[in-house]
Chains A and B, each alone.
Chain A
Amino acid sequence: MELLLSIILGFMIIGAIFALHARDLLSALVAFGIVGYSLVICFLLLKAPDLAIVQIVVETVTLVIMVAVILNSTREEVKDKLRWQSALTIVLALLFIGGLVYFYQVAIAPLDELGMHTTRMAEAYIEGAAEKTGSANLVTGVLFDFRGYDTLGEATILFTAAIGVLTVLRLKGKKAA
């Protein structure tokens, strides 16, 4: 299991690196699709079917929006190569990477091995969930019943983002009074 997930994650990393280095933006998007749809396979392997469905929809919508943006503008990558300006930049970058790796080590230390997780907080959610929420799907039960206010906040964010997109893309501005 861990080996299979590692192989898929390796493909995701390769796809991500190619997506960031492609000369053509359309091929960069196709490579980004590798990352997103591999995540769907990982979710299915990790016994999360709801997440897999949502991720398929979201990934497809994201790719469609990105392709629409690119077809309305340009496919060409900007010309200039990256310049390493000074030794200071490299030293700062290395220090930053070192700091991130250190905090990653600190964060990873108390975690269980993969597959050895013990449910602590979710125990109350699983216990008699069908009677409490009326939902056979525990994820739906947590999302819409135990943590319904989280979902309300999510809906607020979605609404705000839709308003923001409409405002930014509005062609005609209001006439000054």
Chain B
Amino acid sequence: MIVYSLCFVLFMVGLYGVVTRRNMIKIVIGLAIMEISIFMFLVLIGYIQGAEAPIITGHETAVQFVDPLPQAMVLTAIVIGLATNAMLLAIAIRIYKNYGTFDIRKVNELKG
């Protein structure tokens, strides 16, 4: 059970970063850390002690496979995480070009 708790701690570290940092790059890093903790947690749930990776080689007899369902879902989530991170970074560099700073509290005059 201690690994689950450590995943939760990692999630809290990412949340702390998102809430308290003022640099936009640090905020993106915090979000990525939260994503990573969730991936880790989901794959941990599907793990089975002594089981094999879910690939059929043809000459196994009675081996047990690790649960492939969380792995497939996490695979989807990883790619979506990359897309959201790229989007956030694009917005951050755009804001930097306009305001000359990554400080999120200096960006307070949002005009249309």
Contact = CB atoms under 8 A, between A and B. Distances in A.
Interface of A: 1-2, 5-6, 9-10, 12-13, 16-17, 19-20, 25, 28-29, 32, 35-36, 39, 42-43, 46-51, 54-55, 58, 61-62, 65-66, 69-70, 72-74, 77-78, 80, 82, 97, 100-101, 104, 108, 111, 113-117, 119, 121-122, 125-126, 129-130, 136-139, 141-143, 147, 150-151, 154, 157-158, 160-162, 164-165, 168-169
B55 to A, nearest CB: 5
B110 interface: no
Contacts of B80: 154, 157-158
A1 B49 contact: yes
A16 B69 contact: no
- Classify the secondary structure of A's interface with B: helix
Most buried by A among B13, B66, B72, B76: B72
Given A16-B13, A136-B56, A143-B76, A108 B46 contact: no
Contacts of A36: 32, 36
A145 to B, nearest CB: 10
A54 B56 contact: no
Nearest to A142: B72
Nearest to B81: A58
Contacts of B7: 9
B76 A6 contact: no
B87 to A, nearest CB: 5
B29 A78 contact: no
A25 B3 contact: no
A25 B90 contact: no
Most buried by B among A48, A80, A108: A48
B3 A66 contact: no
B20 interface: yes
Contact of B25 (A69, A139, A147): A69
Contacts of B66: 46-48
Interface string B67-80: 11101111110111
Given A69-B89, A136-B56, A139-B75, A114 B3 contact: yes
A5 B29 CA distance: 22
A54 B32 contact: no
Contacts of B93: 69, 72-73, 169
B94 A9 contact: no
Contacts of A97: 12
Nearest to B49: A115
